[in-house]
Amino acid sequence: MESLIFWVCIFVGAIGIVSILAIVVFGWLLFTRSLGILSKEYSHPFWEVLSHRHRSDYESRTLLRYLHESFSNFLERRNEFWTTYGQTLIAALIIITLTLLLLTKTISAEAGLPILSGISGFAIAKGVSPSKTTIESPEEKRG
């Protein structure tokens, strides 16, 4: 019976390590790709405003205000995502650790199951705050 519990613990630990690595790789890939998208999305309009090509001062200020609001919105959403990502990663680590401790009977079910259900409920219920309204570009405001 102990050998079966040992192999179940090894199996749960392996699945836990694979899932944690998948979460970390997902975050790493998302972070590296978002840097390239960020530079492409915001650099062209910014340099266009700085060069003052065929724009009045009002249009330039409107475009700069739009870029500022858009970038601020991007930063808020990015921070919300990384906060949720970190909480999910920590919740996954706690769930895996508690599961292994329960399987090896290091802690009793009376102590571990309420913690496990609380962490699981928090991880499931954690959502992103309601989305904000999108920011209109200066071209959309005119026409």
- pLDDT tens column, 68-102: 888 788 888 888 888 888 888 888 888 888 888 88
- Residue-averaged pLDDT of the chain: 77
Question: Tell me, what's the pLDDT at 85?
Answer: 86
Q: What 3-state DSSP class applies to 55?
A: coil
Lowest mean pLDDT among 8-22, 31-45, 88-102: 31-45
Distance CA 45, CA 70 (A): 12
**Residues contacting 103, CB < 8 A, separation 6+:** 5, 8, 9, 12
Dihedral over Cα of 50, 139, 133, 28: its sign:
negative
- pLDDT tens column, 49-58: 566 555 566 6
pTM: 0.65
